[in-house]
Amino acid sequence: MFSKACEYAVRATLLVASHSLMDERVSVKDIAEATASPVAFTAKIMQQLNRGGILYSVQGKQGGFEMTREQMQATKLSQIVTLIDGDRVFTGCGLGLRECNAKKPCPLHERFSTVRGELKAMLDSTTVLDLALGLKDGLTFLRV
Partner DNA sequence: TTTAAATCGGATAAAATTATCCTGTTTAAA
Partner DNA sequence: TTTAAACAGGATAATTTTATCCGATTTAAA
CB 84 within 8 A of CB 44: no
Interface pick for ligand SF4 out of 5, 21, 106, 119 (rule CB under 6 A): 106
C-alpha 20/C-alpha 123 separation (Å) is 22
Q: Does 140 bind a second copy (CB under 8 A)?
A: yes
Q: Which is nearer to a second copy, 62 or 114 (CB)?
A: 114
How many residues appear in the chain? Answer: 144
Residue 24 or 137 with smaller CB distance to DNA: 24
- The stretch near DNA (CB under 7 A) out of 53-61, 72-80, 107-115, 129-137 is 53-61
Q: What CA–CA distance (Å, rounded) separates 8 from 51?
A: 16
Q: Under the rule (CB under 8 A), what is the footprint of a second copy?
A: 1-2, 4, 7-8, 10-11, 14, 36, 77, 89, 92, 94-99, 101, 104-109, 111-112, 114-115, 118-119, 122, 126, 131-132, 134-135, 140-144
Q: Under the rule (CB under 7 A), what is the footprint of DNA?
A: 3-5, 8, 26-29, 38-41, 43-44, 46-47, 50-51, 57-65
